[in-house]
Structures are given as C-alpha cells and as structure tokens.
Amino acid sequence: MKRLFKNIGILAGVNAGGLLRKCGSQMDDAGLLKNAWLLSDGWQIAAFGTAADSLPTADEVVDCEGGMLMPAFCDSHTHIVYAGGREGEFIDKINGLSYAEIAARGGGILNSADRLHETPEEVLYANAVERLIEMNYQGTGAVEIKSGYGLNPTDEIRMLQVIDRIKAHSPSVVKSTFLGAHAVGRGYSHEDYVFAVCQMMTEAAHLADFVDVFCEKGFFTVEDTARILETGKKHGLRPKIHANQLSASGGVQVGVKYGALSVDHLEQAGDDEIAALKDSDTIATMLPGSSFFLGLPYGKARAFIDAGLPVALASDFNPGSAPSGDMRFVMALGCIKMKLTPERAFNAVTINGAYAMGVSDITGSIAAGKRADLILTRPGWDLTKMVYLHQTPYIRQVYLAGEPL
C-alpha cells in the first residue's frame, strides 16, 4: 500500500549522502527539508521531495498540516526484560545509599536476578512487550535489548529466548545482546563465573547479536572483559560494552581493542578515552537517563563531538538506574545537561543510535529503501520545541515499517 504524507512542515533526518553514522560537525546537520512530502510503499520509504514537485499518487493520503516528520528513535541500549521493579532501592537511594552501595549489599542487579529466577518466561515476555509497546508509542522504532538478569546458564538463555520472541513478533527492529557478565551470579566465585560466562557463549551465540560486559570496579576487570570479548568474538558476537560508568575503568580502551561497535555510559571519560576512540569504528554511547536517575555526572558528549567523534544517546531502560524508555526525555537531557544542540541530540538518538546497534543501513534516517519508521508530530513542532517543551505531548502518530500504531 502506498501512503503519501503531504504538507510536511519539516522533514527531518534526510540522509542524502548514504551515511551510516555522523561524526563531529556532521552532527550539526539534522538533514532538514521544509515544506515536503514523503511516499511510503509497504514497509519502506519510496520517495520524498519538496512542495514544488508534483505529488505522486497513493492509496492513502495523510495531511500532516505542517507537522514535522522524522525517523523514529533508535534506542541502542536497554535492559527491558526484567522481573518486577526495584522500588525499595529507589527509596534507599532517596535516603542516601549510592548505586554502588546497594550493589555491594547484594541488591541491585542480583536483586533483579533473584526475581527473574522465579518468574515464568510467559510473564517475562508479557512484561517486556508491554514496556516495548509503551516505548513505541513514545516514538521508538528500533531497540537493543540485553540479557544480564539471569546470571546462570539457564536464566541467561531464557532471557535471550524471550528477546528472540520479541524480535519475531514486534513491529520494531530488535537486536539482542548477551550480557552474562553483568554481575557475578550468586553461588559462583568471581573466577568461576567468568569461566561460566565463556561457557555460556556457545549457546548464547545462537540467539544474540552482540556480547556485553559491565567493565567496572566491583563488577568485571579489564582482564575479565578481554577474556569474555575474545570468546564472544570467536563465536561471532561483536562487543558492545558498559564502560566508565562509575570510574575510569579502562573499558573504553579494551572495547576499542576488541572492535566494539559501541562503548556505553562514559560518565567518567575524557581526553584519554577520546584519544582511544579516534579513528576507530566504535561509537561512544551516553546514557543521560541513568545520570539523571542516580544523580551522577553526565558524559561529556559535547567534548567528544567537538573532537570529531560520533556520539549516540540511548535510554538504558532498566529497573535500577534508568526506569524509563522515553527517548524524547533522553534528547532533552542531552540538550539541558550535556549542552548538545537539538540537532546534535536528534542525530544522537536517530542515525547514530541506529549505528550503535548495527541497523543504520535499514532505519534511523530518511532515504529511499529504508524502513518507514516515522514519527509525525502535531502541527507547528520542530526539533528545538521538542526538547524545550519537553513535557508537552507532541506526537500525532508513530508509523513502524509503514504502518500506523
């Protein structure tokens, strides 16, 4: 079915150069076309142009009445398969405990693992789908989902199976990451658990697209990370790692060394990490929602971009450090807290987010042949207004693979 979007006030995210990611000053260009139209044909974008062209014929016409049409968000880092919330820890945090202190007491990730262990697959699936549908209505069209609350062979694989089922049934683009090394599972010594994660890799590799390690003081060392990434790579899994969230962990450097697609968090990263990322294919991904929720410093996104690097922003949606998948809020935090311009924040949550999960060839920007994953705003909205009035409803309709939600 052909659908014509006419009277588009601003078409954002036009990718004329066939770019797969935007680096440095390329992020200043949001690919804007004013007074435009766009034609979708089935699941893909067929053509687009400006009002001066004669409009193509279509089976259905959507009058955008001057609204903005932009690519749906690409959220490259989430943990949306989890069992129950962690409201108790939320109150502990309000009363002064830090994220690291809660983890050291056996709470945090281990708390989620205990709950997941008791939760049937059906319930895990239903809860994750509910979260994803909410994210879709908030404009997210592509999502990466991690395991990491199983922390034993059975439950880690169960999580990956749940993600696989979501992949098969959701209209979203879904990528899956094996994060067995999220915390040391209960009943294991540190050494034994690292070994067990490497053992899990064979089965995990049948289900996952990427391998991840929480490279952080109190979790996994650079040496553990190297060992796990190497095993993952042998099984065809490209790394995407958690690095430099709470300390300068060396995670960025080890990630780049093993050809990571992305290194994520980077709250504690500066010149050394910028130097390590220069001339690599690895993208820096920052997660301002977790800085917001935990009251931690924000990544220096502006410095990374000024140094010529690409930056992606993602939600990190999880029950412990970022219980929200709202990518417009992530964009707003990028602007308000990380001093990104709306154009840079927009590129960080669309094309660069898509790159960070290996899907920028199929979604995350406007080009013929790409998936018609689109957000249509109400009339009169633009990128600046979207983040400035960051609490005001602005979405008129989300389309995934050409179909309205």
Residues of this chain that interact with Fe ion (CB under 5 A) are 316
Nearest-approach distance from CB 384 to ligand NIG, in angstroms: 29
Write each residue from 290 to 309 as x if it is in contact with ligand NIG (CB under 6 A), else as -, in one continuous string.
Answer: x-------------------
| CA angle, residues 192, 197, 201, in degrees to nearest 5 | 145
Secondary structure class of 80 (helix, strand, coil): coil
Tell which positions 228-267 bind ligand NIG, by CB under 6 A: 242, 245
Helix locations, 80-120, DSSP H: 87-94, 99-104, 109-117
Q: How far apart are the first and last CA of the chain?
A: 16
Residue type, 299: G
Site for ligand NIG in 39-98 (CB under 6 A): 79
Closest to Fe ion by CB, 209 vs 316, is 316
- Write the interaction track for ligand NIG spanning residues 11-40; mark x where CB under 6 A is met and - where it is not: ------------------------------
Name the binder of 319 from Fe ion, ligand NIG, none, CB < 5-8 A by kind.
ligand NIG
d(CA 277, CA 324): 28
- Helix intervals (H) in 141-250: 153-169, 190-207, 222-234
C-beta closer to ligand NIG: residue 79 or 93 = 79
Structure tokens at 302: 């502006």
Type and span of the H or E element at 290:
helix 288-294
Only segment of 295-303, 314-322, 361-369, 375-383 that touches ligand NIG (CB under 6 A): 314-322
The least distance separating ligand NIG from the CB of residue 109, rounded to whole angstroms, comes to 5
- Name which of residues 175 to 234 contact ligand NIG (CB under 6 A): 214
Calculated CA dihedral for residues 359, 364, 367, 371, nearest 10 degrees: 70
289 binds ligand NIG (CB under 6 A): no
CB atoms closer than 10 angstroms to residue 55: 12
Number of residues binding to ligand NIG, judged by CB under 6 A: 13
Binding partner of residue 9 among Fe ion, ligand NIG, none, CB under 5 to 8 Å per kind?
none
Query: With CB cut-offs between 5 and 8 Å by kind, which of ligand NIG, Fe ion, none does residue 214 bind?
Result: ligand NIG
Pair 143, 187: CB distance under 8 Å? no
Q: Which residue, chain included where needed, has tokens 């790692």?
A: 241
Q: Please give the residue ranges that form the binding site for ligand NIG (CB under 6 A).
A: 79, 108-109, 112, 214, 242, 245, 290, 316, 318-321
